């Protein structure tokens, strides 16, 4: 069996999620290759060593340039902040490494196209981290749509609501710094909604948006771990340079209409990603906080028994579920990463196409940029022009 040796850049929230998934992959799935966690990379030597010991990596690097050049690395997994995605992904591809990169693929659509070009030229496999695609209930929605159960699609409406920075005293973490993150809720949360819209409905023709930053200044950050943080003892206020909330409307290539809302200021919502799709023959509705369920309405039903039905997507007939537990024994957020890595490793082992690949990352960045331009110019923007 082929062995694929992993080098990962970044060890915080996403680094932990990815490491957990790599460690579980061989236990539940036969992906056609054995996984070795070869090296973990981070700038702080003490913290990256602790993380490597916890996550099960054999060695550490403090310079990603050294990591991508190592001959004992076959795949580079990028979980670092968005501002370094382009440099690392291109260098990894040029060194013949397969590349998995978290979303958004880059700070701009132009940078994303450069990454795609480098990966295509090198011939390596590449995949972008849109893990929600790999939720069994969402894949069931995809099957229903592709099978014509919803008929002609009229509406896609989606929202991603969080509240973790609601407190104005919460410090200025890197996700609130445009130079590092690229954008706020728009690129962090909205990117997932955009990809799901592409996956389930199709490409977008034009968009128009609006955004808001509710807290203009925040204390300087001292310590950050995951989505929690403490202010610096200096308590110096610094400007927030990203959006706290972004909303936009879209017209799809197929004529459907879309509405999107992403915010970190929705009190009471922790990780509330949801969407509803309405077609001429029916509708589906999904809420990630009830991720094992899909609600489905068949408009052709007898009106006396019409309405949404709740489907529990835990039977072995649903995607990936046969590998996990008996029917009714639900899975969670962490399993979506196992599923996406299973598909990526299978593609490498069998030399088949990956999905979502960097071209999907480019399409997402095009919409992100188009929405930003529409906000700046207060008008509709054609996505194809970005």
Residues 226-264 have pLDDT tens digits of: 566 556 556 789 999 999 999 999 999 999 999 999 999
d(CA 280, CA 203): 19
Q: Tell me the mean pLDDT in the region 271-295.
A: 98
Residue 383 pLDDT more than 90? Answer: yes
Let me know: does 174 contact 223? Beta carbons within 8 Å: no
Burial 61-89 (b: 16+ CB within 10 A, else e): beebeebbebeebbbbbbbbbbbebbbbb
**Averaged pLDDT for residues 289-296:** 98
Terminal CA-CA length for the chain: 43
**Mean pLDDT confidence for 292-314:** 96
Token representation of residue 144: 């229903």
Average pLDDT along the chain: 96
Q: What is the pLDDT of residue 221?
A: 82
* Domain at 136-290+292-331+364-377: CATH architecture: 2-Layer Sandwich (3.30)
Tell me, what's the pLDDT at 234?
A: 67
Other beta carbons within 10 Å of 179: 11
Look up the CATH superfamily of 2-132.
NAD(P)-binding Rossmann-like Domain (3.40.50.720)
Q: What is the mean pLDDT of residues 326-339?
A: 97
Question: Can you give the pTM of this predicted structure?
Answer: 0.96
In the prediction, which pLDDT does 8 show? 98
pLDDT (tens digit, 9 = 90+) per residue, 179-221?
999 999 999 999 999 999 999 999 999 999 999 999 999 998 8
Mean pLDDT of 144-168: 98
Task: Count the residues in the chain.
Answer: 386
Look at the alpha carbons of 183, 122, 10, 347 in this order and tell me if their dihedral is positive or negative: positive
In this predicted structure, what is the pLDDT of residue 229?
A: 55
Alpha carbons 79 and 337: distance in angstroms, whole number: 12
Ordered strands of the 204-212 beta sheet: 309-312, 293-298, 282-287, 272-279, 153-161, 257-263, 245-252, 204-212, 381-382
In this predicted structure, what is the pLDDT of residue 208? 98
- DSSP tag of 95: T
Paired sense of beta strands 217-219 and 204-212, if any: unpaired
Per-position DSSP letters for 342-369, written without gaps between them: HHHHHHHHHT---SS-HHHHHHHHHHHH
So what's the pLDDT on residue 226? 59
Dihedral angle computed from the Cα positions of residues 295, 296, 297 and 300, in that order, rounded to the nearest 10 degrees: -170
**How confident is the model at residue 175, as a pLDDT?**
95
In 246-379, which ranges are continuous DSSP H helix?
333-350, 358-377
pLDDT tens per residue, range 48-88: 999 999 999 999 999 999 999 999 999 999 999 999 999 99
Proportion of the chain above pLDDT 90, given as a percent: 95
**pLDDT value at 222 more than 90:** no
Domain segments of the chain as ranges: 2-132, 136-290+292-331+364-377
Contact criterion met (CB below 8 Å) for 362 and 198:
no
Residue 225 in this model has a pLDDT that exceeds 90: no
> Which pLDDT belongs to residue 143?
98
């Amino acid at each position: 069996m082929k062995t694929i040796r992993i080098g990962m850049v970044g060890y915080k929230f996403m680094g932990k999620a990815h490491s957990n998934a790599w460690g579980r992959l061989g236990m539940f799935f036969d992906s056609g290759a054995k996984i070795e966690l070869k090296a973990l990379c981070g700038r702080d030597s003490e913290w990256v060593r602790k993380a490597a010991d916890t996550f099960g990596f054999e060695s550490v690097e403090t310079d990603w340039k050294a990591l991508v050049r190592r001959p004992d690395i076959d795949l580079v997994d990028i979980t670092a902040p968005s501002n370094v995605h382009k440099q690392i992904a291109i260098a990894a591809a040029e060194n013949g490494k397969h590349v998995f990169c978290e979303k958004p693929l880059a700070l701009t659509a132009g940078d994303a196209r450069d990454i795609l070009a480098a990966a295509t030229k090198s011939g390596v496999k590449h995949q972008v981290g849109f893990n929600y695609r790999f939720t069994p209930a969402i894949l069931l929605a995809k099957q229903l749509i592709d099978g014509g159960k919803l008929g002609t699609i009229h509406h896609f409406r989606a929202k991603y609501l969080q509240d973790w920075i609601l407190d104005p005293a919460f410090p200025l973490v890197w996700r609130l710094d445009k130079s590092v993150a690229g954008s706020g809720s728009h690129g962090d949360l909205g990117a997932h909604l955009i990809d799901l819209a592409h996956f389930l409905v199709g490409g977008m023709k034009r968009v128009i948006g609006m955004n808001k930053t509710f807290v203009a200044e925040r204390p300087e950050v001292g310590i950050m771990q995951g989505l929690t943080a403490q202010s610096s003892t200096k308590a110096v206020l610094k400007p927030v340079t990203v959006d706290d909330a972004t909303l936009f409307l879209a017209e799809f290539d197929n004529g459907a209409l879309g509405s999107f809302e992403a915010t970190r200021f929705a009190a009471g919502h922790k990780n509330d990603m949801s969407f509803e799709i309405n077609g001429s023959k029916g509708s589906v509705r999904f809420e990630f906080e009830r991720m094992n369920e899909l609600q489905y309405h068949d408009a052709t039903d007898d009106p006396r028994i019409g309405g949404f039905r709740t489907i529990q997507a835990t039977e072995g007939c649903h995607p990936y579920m046969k590998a996990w537990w008996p029917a009714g024994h639900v899975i969670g957020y962490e399993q979506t990463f196992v599923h996406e890595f299973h598909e990526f490793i299978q593609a490498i082992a069998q030399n088949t196409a990956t999905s979502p690949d960097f071209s999907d990352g480019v399409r997402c960045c095009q919409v992100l940029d188009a929405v930003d331009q529409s906000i700046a110019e207060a008008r509709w923007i054609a996505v194809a022009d970005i």
